[in-house]
Amino acid sequence: MADESVQGENSEVDEETSDLNPEEDSKKDVGRDILDVLEAKFPGSTFDAEAFSNFEDELSITLKPDSLEEVALFLKDHEIFQFTMLVDLTAVHFPNDDLPLHVLYQLFSIEKNRRVRLKVRLQEEQSIPTVSNLWSSANWMEREVFDLFGIDFSGHPDLRRILMPDDWGSHPMLKSYPLEGKGERVYDKPQRKEIGE
């Protein structure tokens, strides 16, 4: 994936005086205002911005796992951006990467009609702080990511499987999970093991 070069060139822009009118942004600098504010507030916490397309809602900010909580809270309570809604929370597995598990947070601001995607890259079996205390919608979506990817959300009030059976032995959305045959489908509770094998 993208290299971890810190984009700190424009960090001298003041938080209060930065131009926040999205219409004046050129297409390539979509979401530049959000990045400038974030870089001024949290120096070194943003890795890179992967603005893939020219659509305004495709800004993607990659964060360090430690800084996720404070950046998320900052964006949610920010008086200009007001990302009050967590629309989606999901993960992607890149087994060949150094940081194979990417967790994504799609934030949406109803007031400003803007979207931003926060991305956190994790090691296998690395836990990540929950955001369910910030957005209630994260509760079930984190349970789903735990269920399908095995990512541990520390501090989650009720981290149980949600889609798969409770005693399912593995996490089916990982790329290592086979498409056919028995594969990893081993039940970890003894009574189911007899039936399953």
Partner 1 sequence: MYEIEETKSEIQTKTVTGADELVVNMGPQHPSTHGVLRVILHLDGETVTDLDCDIGYLHRGTEKIGENITYSMFIPYTDRLDYIAAPSNNLAWVTAVEKFFDWEIPIRANYIRSMVGEFSRIASHLLWLATHALDIGAMTVFLWCFREREMVLDLFETAFGGRLTVNAFRLGGLEQDVPAKFLTLAQEFIDIFPSRIQDYETLLTNNRIWLQRTRGVGVISGEDAVDFGLSGPLLRASGVNYDLRRAKPYAAYPYLDFVVPTGENGDIYDRYIVRIEELRQSVKIIQQCLEQLPDGPVSCKTPRTIKPPVGEIYHSIENPKGEFGFYIVSDGSETPYRVRIRPPSFVNLAALKKLCVGGLLADVVAVIGSIDIVLGECDR
Residues in the site for partner 1, rule: CB under 8 A? 50, 52-53, 55, 57-58, 60, 84-88, 90, 92-93, 104, 106, 110, 113, 115, 117, 125, 135-137, 139-141, 144, 146, 148, 150, 152, 159-167, 170-173, 177, 179, 188-189
Please name which of 36, 31, 35 lies closest in space to residue 17, comparing C-alpha atoms.
36
In angstroms, the CA 158 to CA 137 distance is 13
Query: Closer to partner 1 at the Cβ: 50 or 69?
Result: 50
Question: Which residue pairs from 138-141 have beta carbons closer than 8 angstroms and sit at least 24 positions apart in sequence?
Answer: 138/86, 138/89, 141/86, 141/88, 141/89, 141/90
State the Cα angle at 55 between 75 and 135, rounded to 5°.
30
CB atoms < 10 A from the CB of 11, how many?
Answer: 16
In the complex with partner 1, which residue's Cβ is closer, 18 or 126?
126
CA dist 148 and 7 (Å) reads 33
Distance separating alpha carbons of residues 68 and 105, to the nearest angstrom: 10
* Shortest separation between residue 173's beta carbon and partner 1, angstroms: 6
Q: Which is nearer to partner 1, 46 or 105 (CB)?
A: 105
Closest distance of CB 48 from partner 1, Å: 14
**At closest approach, how far in Å is the CB of 130 from partner 1?**
14
Least distance to partner 1 from the beta carbon of 43, Å?
A: 26
- Minimum distance of partner 1 from residue 135's CB (angstroms): 6
* Cβ distance to partner 1 smaller for residue 4 or 94: 94
Q: 17 vs 136, which CB is nearer to partner 1?
A: 136
Q: How far apart are CA 108 and CA 86, in angstroms?
A: 6
Cβ-based nearer residue to partner 1, 14 or 52: 52
Q: Which two tokens stand for residue 167?
A: 């005693």
Closest distance of CB 137 from partner 1, Å:
3
